[in-house]
Structure 1
Amino acid sequence: MIKNMFVKLSVVSLSAGLALSLMATNSSVLAATQTSNEERLQRIERIIENPVLLQLSRRLGEQQREIQELQDQIDYLKRDLRKVNRLSDKRNKESDDRLSELESTRDKLKTQKEAYVAPLSVQESAPTLSMQENDALVIPITTHPATEKEQVAYQLAFNLIKNSQYDAAIQAFQAFLDNHKKSELASNASYWMGEAFYIQQVYSKALNAFNLVINAYPHTSKVADAMLRAGDCLENLKQLNKAKDRYAGLIALHPKTRAAEKAIKRLETLQ
């Protein structure tokens, strides 16, 4: 029995020793773990407090913001580009439509140009300086620079038309043509006499005056305007085919003038 008691005591002592040993081991492990954690925390704190790392962190944040701003700008530019493309497509379509319209008008004018006969009929294109339809045919006149006397006479007549004194202006311009038919101002005098007749709706006499510019002074600056107004006179006289021919002739002979641009619009109206 005593022997059994010794055995039991030995077992109990061994168990207690083992328990104490395990407790000591656990305490050492725990202490080591705590020390390791503290060291890790200290290392992390040192890293966080490192000024170089802090600066890199800030720069990284700034770069991220800049990247976001650039992305926003790219998105904005993409939207603008889509708008520009839509507008460009619209304008291209409008241009194509306009070109098609102009090509159609050009083809019509080409046909009319081919049908246009340069030497016009005697009654329409050959008035004389005295404005009588049955006088001899007009031939081109070589002009000379206007003298001081001619300039004064022309200005007096022009002032009359500016003041709406059309009858007096017509008489003054006719007198100028009678006395100074070779002056470089003669074509202007005939043109403005035509305008005076046109304002008074005397279209046949206005037509004669404009045709005088065209035939007697074919190389002067008033020819294109005179052709346009001659077409207007023919249109008012209900001679529409002749009016079309006159407009077409103007476009063919003086294509780069404002008068030609107006003639194109008039032809489009008459189609």
Structure 2
Amino acid sequence: MRPMRSVRPPSAGSRLVQLACAGLLGLAASLPSQAALFGDDEARKAILELRAKVEANRQAGDNALAELRRKQDEQSANSGRVVLELANQVEALRTELSQLRGQNEQLQRDVTELQRQQKSTLNLIDDRLRSLEPVRVSQDGVDFTVQPREKAEFEAAMSALRAADFDKAADLYGQFMRRYPDSGYLPAALYWQGNARYASRDYKPAIDSYRALIAKVPNHSRVPEAMLAIANCQQELKDAKAAKRTLEELFKSYPKTEAGIAARDRLARMQ
């Protein structure tokens, strides 16, 4: 069996044409009987009127069909414009979404960079604060606090002394004591400055450093060694009497220290 075709309902224009044709056929069928009743003029007149009615009906059907087609075309055009507008809006939304995603990614990168910079800044601030905070140190059995820069400058002088750069070391110790006259490092700076000068054969300046230590900090543990070093400088200056007096004073004041014992032995050899 062949499949049945679906029957589409006639449009408004088609119905109008069908009605006009039906009317024309009905009038044509009645012409013979009317022609018999009326004369030729009247029949001719009736035919003309019928033709006019048919033409009017046909024209009305054509107009109705044209209006229907116009409306369909207008609806199609409107639908096309709507679809196009919707497509443009969708594309615009896609473009805006892509831009927003790009901006979001850039913002995330900016936030990450700002966090990195903030962390770096905080670390730098912490380092600077730590560089300004006093530190606890111990020197020659004495504990005290110093500023980080103060500690660094003293260690720089010690480094020059260890490197046997005695003139530079003596100068750095001098600069340190002028900058930090009340430093806890002061006794050590005077003592090691005297040693640096002694190593450079600057015996009189060395004696000045040792005597400054004894005068400023008479109870310091380095005082016996400073007195022994003064005696050494005096011997190098060929001042044996002064050296002997210094050794005698050293042994008398500090007989049980290593420096005092060394002074006793040297005095015995001088007899």
TM tier, smaller: 0.3 to 0.5
Q: Which has the higher contact order (CA 8 A, sep 6+)?
A: 1
Using the size of structure 2 for normalisation, the TM-score is 0.45
Q: Which structure has the larger Rg?
A: 2
